[in-house]
Structure 1
Amino acid sequence: MLHDRLLVEVDREAGERRSSGGIVIPATAAMGARRLSWSKVVAAGPHVRSVEVGDKVLFEPEDKAEVEVAGELYIVMRERDVHAVAADRVGDSATGLYL
Structure 2
Amino acid sequence: MPKKGGSSAGLPVRMLHDRLLVSLEGEPGERRSGGGILIPATASVGKRLAWGAVVATGPNARQVESGDRVLFDPDDRAEVEIQGKEYLLLRERDLHAIAAERVEDGPSGLYL
Q: Could you say whether these structures have the same fold, taking a TM-score greater than 0.5 normalized by the shorter chain as the test?
A: yes
Q: Does 1:63 align with 2:76?
A: yes
> Residue in 2 aligned with 1:5?
19
Gaps of 5+ in 1: none
- Aligned ranges 1:17-56 → 2 under 5 Å: 17-31=31-45, 33-56=46-69
- Aligned ranges 1:67-82 → 2 under 5 Å: 67-82=80-95
Gaps of 5+ in 2: 1-14
Q: Superposition RMSD on alpha carbons, in Å?
A: 2.2
TM superposition shift of 1:49: 0.1
Q: Distance in 2 between matches of 1:30 and 1:12?
A: 17
Is the 1:84–1:98 Cα contact (8 Å) retained in structure 2? no
Structure with the largest fraction of helix: 1
Q: Distance in 2 between matches of 1:11 and 1:20?
A: 17
| CA gap 1:25/1:54 in 2 versus in 1, 3 angstroms | same
Structure with the largest fraction of strand: 1
Number of corresponding residues: 95
TM value normalised by structure 1: 0.84
Identity of aligned residues (%): 60
| CA gap 1:66/1:98 in 2 versus in 1, 3 angstroms | farther
> Residue in 1 aligned with 2:98?
85
TM value normalised by structure 2: 0.75
Is the 1:86–1:98 Cα contact (8 Å) retained in structure 2? no
Q: Which runs of 4+ in 1 moved over 3 A?
A: none
- Flag the structure with larger Rg: 2
TM superposition shift of 1:26: 1.2
Is the 1:85–1:98 Cα contact (8 Å) retained in structure 2? no
The C-alpha deviation readout for 1:27-74, integer Å capped at 9, x for no partner, is 22121x211111000000000001000001110000000100000000
